[in-house]
Structure 1
Amino acid sequence: MARSRRNATKSGPMSEQEIDNMYEAMMSELNRIYSNINEVMNQVVELTVAISALQPLDPRTSVFCMISGFLMRGHLLKILPRIRQNREELKEILVELEAALEDKNREIAEFEARTSIPRLVEAPSDAVSALRGCSAVLWQFNLALNMVF
């Protein structure tokens, strides 16, 4: 398919079918990025809830956690820092996904301008506002995250 795109741009304008296929692929990728952002945000919220529930406990408390599919027993003193580290890593992934979302929105806007595709839905300025618009529940999760951090 990449070969036909190159040939189409070199030999002349792309056919309507090629434009539709490329646009559909871009929108599919955009939806995948939104889905990944949603999934990572949910994981961050879950870890935040776990941290807030575990913080008041005695650090010597025995806890169980799932590691690579195995139920492991450990002390809160060792487990809580791992949970915090996982949450921070997920936040970094979230930042990367938001950057990828902005890039994909920019790429789609440029493609629409080049091919004169009418814009059906205006792309949000950033991922956070997009997710707030998608679902009230997700917006509440975001509020909870902002209060905790």
Structure 2
Amino acid sequence: MQLDDEICMKFPAVLKDKLLRKEIELPDTALLDYEPILTYRAVVREKDDYRTIQSEDFKSYFELKKTPKNARGIKKDWSKDPHYYGVSSFLDRRIVEQKMKFPNPKKKIAVGNVYKEGGPAETNEKDGHVCWWLFENADVSGFKIEEG
């Protein structure tokens, strides 16, 4: 998906630069205009830590300097994959619980809406995965730690 420069300028520096230089493109299945999508995401929290969700809880693999877990041993230049710069969440809480091996004493589940003003999103109905490319300073305060 080709984005106009005005939209590219809304992203954090690294993604913005890659999009402007046409080094990567968001997939054609990514949407700019969509209704809010209720999603679940694992966040790092100790057992008694219920502090408010903040932007630090929404870092891409690129920002965390990590590679996707299911990709260990696979030779791939992740810097060319737009999903590497997006943030993952899921349509079903049970998917997060399974993937993150819940109960997990170092993680909790956050629930909230992925929304168009925060950035483009791609939903894969088959596996329930939502990739959200957050604009710089997107507000994630609508996400809350879900108990139980």
**Pairwise same-fold verdict (TM > 0.5):** no
Which protein has the larger Cα radius of gyration, Structure 1 or Structure 2?
A: 1
Structure number with higher strand proportion: 2
Structure number with higher helix proportion: 1
* Structure with greater contact order relative to length (CA < 8 Å, sep ≥ 6): 2
